[in-house]
Chains A and B, each alone.
Chain A
Amino acid sequence: GDSVTQMEGPVTLSEEAFLTINCTYTATGYPSLFWYVQYPGEGLQLLLKATKADDKGSNKGFEATYRKETTSFHLEKGSVQVSDSAVYFCALSDSMGGTSYGKLTFGQGTILTVHP
């Protein structure tokens, strides 16, 4: 079955540091890939997505590129802020059709803490 693996956390950075959170996946077919962010006490919000190989998703300074050859979708940001402190989830949506079409499979989440 489909699976998503994220780098172990928690990740602690100083403000303005460079961020990378690794994500790799296993899937049949050609999934869409997502990053979601969860701020304390809230539900998940879509951060960015990519729907086919070599697509780059970007939002709020975050970027991730869909790499089919390495089955990866790593999240990056050049300069993090304290307000970026949250839990980040990588996810894939299956694309094989049938009754499971469009379900999300999530990674385990990575806690990011940014200090001033």
Chain B
Amino acid sequence: DADVTQTPRNRITKTGKRIMLECSQTKGHDRMYWYRQDPGLGLRLIYYSFDVKDINKGEISDGYSVSRQAQAKFSLSLESAIPNQTALYFCATSESGGANQPQHFGDGTRLSIL
């Protein structure tokens, strides 16, 4: 079983709909992250959480919200989806303890907004 699981893997929806992407992990890591990937732009950080009570905005948080329901679960919501939110979304986790801790990624959710 994957250590970082994202659901759904693919989603097509319409403009204005509310969407939730879910992430769960079995690695026991405190830190969790949501990124979006667009061609030619690499990965950009949307939100991150260093523990259940600590949630922070990343560089592109407008139009998104998150919920850290437990240490193992971190969900991303698009309250009213728009076409330019069409992208590949990744969840990641890492241990606490310093800048040299690598991040561990799920396989991504491909989201298309029509």
Contact = CB atoms under 8 A, between A and B. Distances in A.
A107 to B, nearest CB: 6
Contacts of B42: 4, 89, 106-109
Contact of A102 (B40, B99, B104): B99
A32 B99 contact: yes
Say what secondary structure dominates the interface of chain B: strand
Nearest to B96: A102
Contacts of A99: 50, 54, 56
A49 B102 contact: yes
Given A102-B31, A104-B45, A106-B42, A46 B102 contact: yes
Interface of A: 4, 31-32, 34, 36, 41-46, 49, 51, 89, 93-95, 99-104, 106-109
B107 A43 contact: yes
Given A31-B99, A94-B99, A43 B41 contact: no
Nearest to A93: B99
B74 interface: no
Residue of B42, B48, B92, B104 most packed against chain A (CB within 10 A):
B42
Given A32-B100, A102-B94, A102-B98, A45 B43 contact: no
A100 B50 CA distance: 10
A102 to B, nearest CB: 5
B103 interface: yes
B101 interface: yes
